[in-house]
Chain A
Amino acid sequence: MAVMKPEMKSFIWLETPDGSIQQVEEEVAMFCPMICREVLQTGMGSSKNYAIKLPQRVNPVVLGLILDYCRFHQVPGRSNKERKTFDEKFIRMDTKKLCELTSGADSLQLRPLVDLTSRALARMIEGKTPEEIRDTFHLPDDLTEEEKLEPLKNRTDDPRIRLLNRLYARKRKELKVRETSKIVEIEEERVDDRSVDDLLLFINSGDEDSKCGKSAKNKKKSRRRKDHLKDSSLNIENGNHKKETDSLSSSHNSEIEDVPSPSEISKLLGSTSPTNPPEPDFDDELDPAMKEELDREVEDFARRLNSVWPERMQGIMR
């Protein structure tokens, strides 16, 4: 192997965001499309004073890793197997560095490296429980229990309205039961297995820690509901929507939960604004006996949901 004199090799000068400047072998640096473009289009990088300024996300550590990658892969003679072996060893690093590396490679437009690191990150997500994923990436567990349980919907929705709507749905169901008890029964039976619930579960895929702290959650829920019953405002137009929502709720009937999906919510709410106008009509429409019954039912449902949840999850997830 011929020994090359230092003057014969060509270098490119790079400056990282912290101000430090280093020189890198030309063929290695040119492997990065962004650097290649800078050199060819602007002529920068030829000397220390004209070092190419690297993007914000490419700090010296990240740059070092990227250059290691480039140094290996820019050699043309390597076999696919060699490259693959190198890649597998290369991505073994802690998660934080892997994320930073992905970010840096992206800003230098080094697509093969972005793909490699993304695949590694995807492997850390696939098939893992939410808790494991949060742990891996240090994600804050900042969704409320309600949000985790409930379906995804329009961002502008107020959580209170969801609870209200659930009560509405239940109330409507009560009324419907009185009218056409037979039909409802049959429908309930028929759609038992296909409840909306199951779909939500697998979209939201509840996590293990919904199991613990359940009693606390229960209390929270029923307390909230009681509060709403007292001072909440009502949407009188509910009556107008009755026909529409009846068909909706019956088609999505289940004995467990009538949680509305986004489409239902928009229909239910119609054109009313999310902020409820103060209209204390709820108490007027319900007689106390029914109100009590409703309260009991809601609590009952909540308890049932929580106890059934783990088994349900087992059935759906694995």
Chain B
Amino acid sequence: MHMEFFSGEDYISDLPQSIIETILTKLPLRDAVRTSILSSRWRYKWASLTQLEFDDKCVYGTHDRALAETYLVKFVSRFLFLHDGPIHRFTLTTAYLQSSPDVDQWLLFLSRKDVKELILELGEGEWFRVPSCLFSCRKLVRLELVRCELDPPLSFKGFPFLKHLNLQQVLIAPDVVENLISSCPLLESLTLSYFDSLELTVRAPNLKYLILEGEFKDICLENAPMLVAISVAMYMTDDIAEHFGQSSSCNFDKFLGGVPSLQRLIGHIYFTKYMSIGNTLAQTQVTYQQLKVIELYQVSFEDMKEIMVVLRLILNAPNLQELQISGSSNSSCASEAPDFDFWEKECPCDCAFEQLKIVKMTDMSGLPHEMAFIEFLLGSSPILEIMSITPSVYVTEGRLNLLIELLRFRRASAEAEIIFVQDQV
């Protein structure tokens, strides 16, 4: 084959290790290890990589699950053993491997290597019980766990440098998760998904980004003044619904009472309903000066309380730029007769949304309050550019009436375009 001798012209082996590492980290780990066979200088270049990403691609070529699992374990174990130097980032994403003593050993190894970022997503079977050595990874900056059981030892005082925490389908006691959050002073981003019936109080003085998804009985943002973006998806179960009925406090205050720097709020599914409990349009309220984007999904325009939540938000967000609301397709409170005086009562006639440019209303059924709301927005938004309306898929005959009504509405902004979205892909 290639027996020619090139006159010492090795283009790449002399590049500094930092560049070699940059190149090798852009390869799948398997290819990176294979470079060991290129030449004598490349034997161990791969072994000082600081960012390791293991996944099922490391063992492609076999469909036998048990075989794949064994291969993966061998590969990771041997790789780690031959690795030389610090490890900053360790990611393991696999559908094959589940709870296994090998993973415990790897975590122990990593805890001694001052690992900074740890991402663990194991298979769907038995959830991985995280060993206590994880809690001695003092230098952790990012921790993401999927399908694990977390049970910190009593001596655990928190991760002093943790900035990003993401727990998805993690089995953890409620007070433990609260303590975990409050014991990480630098925490900036928190994501909790698929939790069951959680009552959560968040104390995180530096928290900027919050994403919650699951069945939450109660969320109290007790101390999170730096929050910039919140996204919540609340699912409902029977006992949560009961709990809603019994709650006496104002959820709106508990949730949004202490977040003056909020810029972006996104609420899915039952969020607006949750916020409506105990809510009043009382005088003393927080003004959200920075709030620019509000997205609320599944808002029931037949429930006056939910409408009040929406109103309270937009009336206290003077710099709102973009508003997106989707209606709720199932009418659960259809019994209430529409209160047409509501709009004159609650909305000050001189209110104007000075910065509102884009409004998107989706899943509209043509309900009276939906139309009234649209009319209200059109009449109070002097610099509105786009009002996009998408009818609900269940509305087939009423569309023409919807359009006719829309045409009537006064527009405060000469630039406003009303876009009626007919065909949803």
Binding site for B on A (CB under 8 A): 95-96, 99-100, 102-103, 106, 114-115, 118-119, 121-122, 125-127, 130-131, 133-135, 137-143, 147-148, 151-153, 155, 193-194, 198-199, 202-209, 212, 261-263, 315-318
Q: Are A118 and B26 in contact (CB under 8 A)?
A: yes
The chain A residue with its CB closest to the CB of B36 is A152
Inter-subunit contact B34/A205 (CB<8 Å) = yes
Q: Are A316 and B33 interface neighbours, CB within 8 A?
A: no
B15 adjacent to A122 (CB under 8 Å)? no
Partner among B35, B39, B44, B82 whose Cβ is within 8 Å of the Cβ of A125: B35
Give the residues in chain B near A193, CB-CB below 8 Å. Answer: 67
How far apart are the CA atoms of A315 and B27 in the complex, in Å? Answer: 22
Do the beta carbons of B31 and A137 come within 8 Å of each other?
no
Beta-carbon contact of B71 and A106 below 8 Å: no
B23→A122 contact, CB < 8 A: yes
Q: How far is the CA of A178 from the CA of B27 in the complex (A)?
A: 48
B9 touches A138 (CB 8 A): yes
Contacts of B67 in A (CB 8 A): 193-194
- In the complex, the answer to whether A204 meets B2 with C-beta atoms within 8 Å is no
Interchain CB contact under 8 A, A125 and B40: no
Asked if residues B37 and A194 are in contact (CB atoms below 8 Å), the reply is: no
What residues of A have a CB within 8 angstroms of the CB of B18 in the complex? 106
Whole-angstrom CA separation of A114 from B26 in the bound complex = 12
B156 at the interface (CB under 8 A from A): no
Per CB-CB distance, the 4 closest pairs between chain A and chain B, nearest first, are: A122-B26, A99-B11, A118-B22, A137-B12
Known contacts A118-B26, A125-B23, A133-B38; A199 and B15 CB within 8 A of each other: no
Q: CA separation between A55 and B24, bound complex, in Å?
A: 24
Task: Tell whether A140 pairs with B39 under 8 Å between CB atoms, given A152-B82, A261-B78.
Answer: yes
Partner of B37, one of A100, A130, A261: A130
7 chain-A/chain-B pairs, Cβ below 8 angstroms: A102-B15, A114-B22, A138-B10, A147-B43, A155-B44, A261-B78, A315-B61
Q: Say whether, besides A131-B1, A193-B67, A199-B71, A118 and B38 are in contact (CB < 8 Å).
A: no
- Which residues of B (67-88) have their CB < 8 Å from a CB of A? 67, 70-71, 74-75, 78, 81-82
Contact between chains at A102 and B78 (CB < 8 Å): no
Using an 8 Å CB-CB cutoff, how does the interface string of B50-79 with A read, 1 for contact, 0 for none? 000000000001000001001100110010
Residues of chain B with a CB closer than 8 A to A209's CB: 1
Query: What residues on B are CB-neighbors of A139 within 8 Å?
Result: 10, 12-13, 38-39, 42
Return chain A residues, CB-CB under 8 Å to B28. Answer: 126
16 further A-B pairs in the complex, CB-CB below 8 A; given A125-B27, A138-B11, A147-B43: A102-B19, A106-B16, A115-B22, A118-B22, A121-B12, A126-B27, A130-B38, A133-B38, A138-B10, A139-B39, A140-B39, A148-B37, A151-B78, A202-B61, A203-B36, A203-B78
Are A263 and B38 neighbours in the complex by a CB distance under 8 Å? no
Secondary structure at the B interface, as helix, strand, loop or mixed, is helix
Q: Are B43 and A143 in contact (CB under 8 A)?
A: yes
CB distance from B85 to the nearest CB of A (A): 14
A199 adjacent to B27 (CB under 8 Å): no
Contact B26–A119 (Cβ < 8 Å): yes
Q: How far is the CB of B38 from chain A (nearest CB, A)?
A: 5
Closest CB-CB distance, A34 to chain B, in whole Å? 15
CB-nearest residue of chain A to B71: A199
A142: B residues at CB distance < 8 A: 39-40
The CA of A95 and the CA of B12, in the complex, are separated in Å by: 9
- Tell me which residues across on chain A come within 8 A of B6, comparing CB atoms: 138, 140
Contact of B33 among A119, A194, A203, A261 (CB under 8 A): A203
Could you tell me the distance between the alpha carbons of A105 and B331 in the complex, rounded to whole angstroms? 61
Contacts of A262 on B, CB cut-off 8 Å?
81-82
Q: What is the bound-complex CA distance between A204 and B37, given in angstroms? A: 6
Q: Across the A-B interface, how many residue pairs have beta carbons closer than 8 Å?
A: 119
What residues of chain B have their CB less than 8 Å away from a CB belonging to chain A? 1-2, 6, 9-13, 15-16, 18-19, 22-24, 26-28, 30-31, 33-40, 42-44, 47, 61, 67, 70-71, 74-75, 78, 81-82
Instruction: For A212, list chain B residues within 8 Å (CB).
Output: 1
What are the residues of chain B within 8 A of A208 when measuring CB–CB?
1
With CB as the reference atom, state the residue of chain A lying closest to B82: A152
CA of A202 to CA of B30 in the docked complex: distance in angstroms? 8
Tell me which residues across on chain B come within 8 A of A202, comparing CB atoms: 30, 61, 75
What residues on B are CB-neighbors of A106 within 8 Å?
A: 16, 18-19
Which A residues lie within 8 Å of B1 (CB)? Answer: 131, 208-209, 212
Which residue in B9, B19, B22, B39 is a CB contact (below 8 Å) of A141? Answer: B39
Residues of chain B within 8 A of A115, CB atoms compared: 22
Q: Collect the chain A residues with CB atoms within 8 Å of residue B13's CB.
A: 137, 139
Is A143's CB under 8 angstroms from B78's CB? no
Tell me the smallest distance from the CB of A310 to a CB of chain B, in Å. 15
Residues in A with CB closer than 8 Å to B47 are: 152
Give the docked Cα–Cα distance between A252 and B51 (Å).
30
Does the CB pair A141–B2 fall under 8 Å?
yes
Q: Which residue of A lies closest to B18 (CB)?
A: A106
Task: Give the residues in chain B near A103, CB-CB below 8 Å.
Answer: 15-16, 19
Query: For the complex, what is the distance from the CA of A173 to the CA of B11, rounded to whole Å?
Result: 46
B64 to chain A, nearest CB (A): 9
A212 to B: closest C-beta gap in Å? 7
- Alpha-carbon distance A317/B38, docked complex (angstroms): 17
A204 and B36 within 8 A (CB): yes
Checking B2, B22, B40 against A143 with a beta-carbon cut-off of 8 angstroms, the contacting residue is B40
Q: How far is the CA of A148 from the CA of B34 in the complex (A)?
A: 11
Task: Specify which chain A residues have a CB less than 8 angstroms from the CB of B61 in the assembled complex.
Answer: 202, 315-318
Complex: chain B residue closest to A206, CB-CB: B37
What's the nearest-Cβ distance from chain B to residue A112, in Å? 12
Q: For residue B26, which residue of chain A has the nearest CB? A: A122
Central interface residue in A114, A198, A202, by most chain B CB within 10 Å:
A202
Please determine whether B43 and A114 come into contact, CB atoms closer than 8 angstroms: no
A135 and B2 form a contact (CB under 8 A): yes
- Give the residue of A114, A125, A131, A147 whose beta carbon is less than 8 angstroms from that of B31: A125
Contact A130 B82, CB 8 Å, known A96-B11, A139-B10, A141-B39: no
Minimal beta-carbon separation of A27 from chain B (angstroms):
27
A126 to B33, CA, bound (A): 11
Most B Cβ at <10 Å: residue of A134, A155, A208: A134
Complex Cα gap A138–B11 (Å): 7
The residue on B at minimum CB distance from A128 is B31
Beyond A106-B19, A125-B27, is A140–B10 a contact (Cβ under 8 Å)?
yes
| Bound-complex Cα distance A202 to B72 (A) | 12
- Most chain B CB within 10 A, of A119, A125, A199, A263, is at A125
Distance (Å) between the CB of B143 and the closest chain A CB?
26
Provide the residues of chain B in CB contact with A99, threshold 8 Å: 11-12, 15
